């Protein structure tokens, strides 16, 4: 393999990866540009195995998308709808509690709660939603509200982001998912999601969360109009933020799904691109403990292969996720824990059921 990596012109990066030396933005760009996926994957696998050995994580979780009403209406999103339009919906607090109650018999440890930027729901709705979920299932970990939603909630509350996060935490919020990061580049945000919180704003919210002990994840939406340079800048900004706080757990590259979006003329991502994004992220984000191959977006089969290209996590059982589904996602809406275990085992990895914070729940 070393010969192959050298023949691909990546010998110097192999030396850096082996020596635990940090990659430069130029290195990151060369990895993105390399057509030699196996070499890039080999490099990523060195980092993956150094950090996570042969372990591959999954979680027994549930998604609740409480509302799709959104004032941002990003061009890449098929989920967000304008208030009052036929497909717009919002769940009442009682409906959210019912979603949790319905699945009390399953060993779910995490609920992933994400919605849009709703123009009317009051701040109390969000606090009550958290308290309500905890009432029905006290031991569940709520991973909820992207940094974009948190900034909106702070505005609603008329409080600082820090004060708002402290109140959300007291109401039951356990950690923050990685959504809303998109691509930090102001050019991309202007062209695709002009109304959304800026990249700097997103990073500020994440860092503030970390400062009060809330862990979070980070994403990058790739495969639309971003350049490779903009991808590297995005990864670089995340790596710098992580140097400051150490509060990120997982990076999740999100493959753009064009169907039903304002950018539907763009082709879907390919398997090469999906694996490349996982592998480059694993090499570049040397201070992120985990990289997730999110099966809902790249399909269970590719997420399985991704376990040899840098990923150490497959996310979880999910069920009822709407963001990908609305944008033409073809994956099933749920995988059982048995299916996840089989996928991981057949990839030659050791399946580990984890909780949100990567504590081991069960090994197989």
What binding mask, one character per residue, do residues 229-268 give for ligand V47 by CB under 6 A, x or -?
A: ---------------------x-x-x-xx---x-------
Nearer to ligand V47, 76 or 358 (CB): 76
Taking CB under 6 A as the rule, does residue 67 contact ligand V47?
no
Our finding on whether 111 is near ligand V47 (CB under 6 A) is: no
The CB-of-181 to ligand V47 minimum distance in angstroms stands at 7
Q: Pick between residue 77 and residue 100 the one whose CB is nearest to ligand V47.
A: 77
Q: Which residue is nearest to ligand V47 (CB)?
A: 179
What's the min distance (Å) between Cβ of 76 and ligand V47? 5
- 34 sits near ligand V47 (criterion: CB under 6 A): no
**For ligand V47, which stretch binds (CB under 6 A), given 72-80, 199-207, 279-287, 336-344?**
72-80
**Residue 49 near residue 20 (C-beta atoms within 8 A):** no
127 binds ligand V47 (CB under 6 A): no
Residue 327 touching ligand V47 (CB under 6 A): yes
Q: Is 219 in the site for ligand V47 (CB under 6 A)?
A: yes
CA separation (Å) from 122 to 39, 111, 117, 128, 158?
Answer: 51, 22, 11, 10, 11
Which residues ranging from 146 to 165 are in contact with ligand V47 (CB under 6 A)? 146
Kindly report the three-state secondary structure assignment for every residue of 87-110. Answer: CCCECCHHHHHHHHHHCCCCCCCE
Report the residue from 28, 179, 299, 351 that binds ligand V47 according to the rule CB under 6 A: 179
Q: What's the order of all strands across the beta sheet hosting 61-64?
A: 61-64, 110-113, 141-144, 173-176, 215-222, 248-255, 290-291
- Summarize as ranges the residues that interact with ligand V47 (CB under 6 A): 76-79, 146, 177-180, 182, 217, 219, 221, 250, 252, 254, 256-257, 261, 294, 315, 323, 327
């Amino acid at each position: 393999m070393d010969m192959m990596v050298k023949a691909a012109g990546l010998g110097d990066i192999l030396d850096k990866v082996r020596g635990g030396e940090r990659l430069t933005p130029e290195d990151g760009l060369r990895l993105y540009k390399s057509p030699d996926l196996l070499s890039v994957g080999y490099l990523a696998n060195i980092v993956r195995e150094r950090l996570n050995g042969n372990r591959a994580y999954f979680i027994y979780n549930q998604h609740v998308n409480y509302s799709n009403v959104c004032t941002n209406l990003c061009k890449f999103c098929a989920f967000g709808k304008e208030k009052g339009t036929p497909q717009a919906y919002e769940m009442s607090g009682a409906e959210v509690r019912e979603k949790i109650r319905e699945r009390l018999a399953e060993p779910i440890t995490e609920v992933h709660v994400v919605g849009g930027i709703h123009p009317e729901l009051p701040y109390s709705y969000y606090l009550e939603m958290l308290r309500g979920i905890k009432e029905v299932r006290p031991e569940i970990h709520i991973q909820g509200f992207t940094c974009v939603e948190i900034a909106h909630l702070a505005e609603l509350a008329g409080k600082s982001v820090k004060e708002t996060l402290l109140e959300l935490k007291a109401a039951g919020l356990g950690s923050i998912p990685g959504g809303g990061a998109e691509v930090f580049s102001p050019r991309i945000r202007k062209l695709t999601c002009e109304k959304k919180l800026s990249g700097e704003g997103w990073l500020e919210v994440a860092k503030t969360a970390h400062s009060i002990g809330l862990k979070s994840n980070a994403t990058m939406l790739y495969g639309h109009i971003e350049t490779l340079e903009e991808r590297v800048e995005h990864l670089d900004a995340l790596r710098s933020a992580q140097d400051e706080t150490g509060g990120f757990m997982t990076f999740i590259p999100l493959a753009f799904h064009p169907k039903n979006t304002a950018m539907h003329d763009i082709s879907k991502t390919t398997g090469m691109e999906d694996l490349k994004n996982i592998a480059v992220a694993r090499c570049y984000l040397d201070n992120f403990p985990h990289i997730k191959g999110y099966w809902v977006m790249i399909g269970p089969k590719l997420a399985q292969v991704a376990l040899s290209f840098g990923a150490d996590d497959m996310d979880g059982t999910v069920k009822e996720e709407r963001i990908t589904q609305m944008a033409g996602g073809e994956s099933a809406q749920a995988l059982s824990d048995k299916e996840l275990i089989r996928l991981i085992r057949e990839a030659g990895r050791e399946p580990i059921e984890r909780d949100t914070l990567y504590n081991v729940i069960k090994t197989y």
